[in-house]
Structure 1
Amino acid sequence: MQLTLRDFFMRLPLISGIGLKTTTACWRWVECQPELTQIGPTTLARLCQEMALPPKKADHLQHQLFSTAIGEQVTTNLTHTGCLTIVDAGYPQPLRETFAPPVALYFLGDVRLVHAPQLAVVGSRKPSPYALAAMRLLLPNVVQKRICLVSGLAQGVDTLAHQAALAYRGRTIAVIGTGLDQCYPATNRSLMRELCQSQLVFSEYPWGTHGARHHFPERNRIIAGLASSTLVVEAAHHSGSLITANIALQENRNVLAIPGAVNNPNSVGTNELILAGAKPILKPEHIIEEVLVDNLP
């Protein structure tokens, strides 16, 4: 049996015992074989040997990759969602260039949105009135410049970012930490339904996958990887938003932060980012110039 590279990367993350580290290593190996167009048992054996995979992982790969069960899972996913694999021409190039890109991304909605200039927007799940006012001041002009807002559909700042894009007839992408048939939090189900119909929702998790604690930090790397700049609206010390900001820094992306009062615990994270070199955002133009300059041809 011979698999196209697209089929190989759709099947690979579905194999039990194979995680992000292994899927990334397989992608790097394929990248170094420009003549490769298919994966069969012989090529797979060479991949396992040259990557020096532990015997248990190699066994999982060789026994499951070509199985009927994995093929049926692929069919189930494609029945419900679209899928971009890392070898597809439409896969977002900024994400492909990151340290650990997802080798398969499931989606619902308008996948053409990945080609718009992207701004990741992250922040507190319980934003203060100051954060709400800052977003109302900053985001409308950004959206009207056709900049796509990328966020994670979580409560608080994420939800407000998606809603701002909708309210001002703009573009937004949600990256979620469950399968596309699930919604977390459940209170955002109607918002997610609207995004699936008129915008774009991404997940690296197959249909039917429930949320798990480790999914959300993994989801954050996709949010940071899609965008040229990440805006942190409000963040307490050690918050999840700072994880996304740190990933963006590691990927050499711009980090932007809204300064806050020194006595506000929810502004500690953003103020520390600015102290460390993030660009302080005082007006919409500060965001627009960062995003659009980075997206010039």
Structure 2
Amino acid sequence: MTTQPQISTLLTRGIECASYKWIPVDGAQIRGVAVVYHGFGAHSRYPTVHYASSLLAKNGFVVYAMDLPGHGASPGVRGLLTGVDHLVEDGLAIAKHAIADSSMMKSNVELPLFLVGSSMGGAIALSVAKKMSDKIKGVVMLAPMLSLNVGSAARTALWFLSMIVPEMPLIPSSATNSERQYRDVGRRDECDKDTLTYKGKMRPQSALTCIEMTDHIQQSFHEIDVPFLCMIADEDVVVDNSISEMFMTKSPSKDKTMKSYAALHGLLCEPSSLLEVIEADLAQWLLSRCP
């Protein structure tokens, strides 16, 4: 069972994007604020993302999220990513909105702010945390897109295609194959039936942006000093996990944890026995860093 969000719009780069707010049930103690970033092709109410937001709300967090341009209920060419700078700017927009909106809540203490991102959203969360480190209490990444297995020849081809046909859907992607991402049949079925997800072939500009986003975040590893939890799916075929150990080594953070699971890319779409472990790890890490 998932909780339903309040729906509004948020302006980023002159684009009115769909935004969402989940609040804890009446009477529940509010422990903190969380911003959730979705992955490529998904959106804030996509089942896997909604599972995370609902889990956080049930544990006392006020949760904010936004559909990136070209995703979900936001305007734009479906599944189009227009550059790393735009991804970071959009990520900053919802984080700043969360700070401003939550500051108006009646509370005797300043609520800690956390960033939570899945897949591409994990890279966005880290990029935002780097720019707002004084405001961020911690970052949680679920199967983060820190690296992609793309050779130099493929990169060169993508660069040329992005110059010639940037928006043409040309590139097959494992990120659109539900059987390779979600093990629980019921949850996989929910993902398959979602009508707002972009499930077509990747556009060259989107593919190049994803690659450049991983380059961008890897170059920033030594500057990311916020507390973080990196949750890795051992059987992931969507992202390359090999860089996660490098991140653990290079980040100067004094509070860093990596956990791995015998899971597919969609960590919150595992069968109940493993799912309960993953959900508990996520919630407990956040709650242990709240007042």
- TM-score class, shorter-chain normalisation, is 0.3 to 0.5
TM-score (norm 2): 0.34
Task: Return the structure number with greater relative CO, CA threshold 8 A, min gap 6.
Answer: 2
Q: Which has the larger radius of gyration?
A: 1
TM-score (norm 1): 0.33
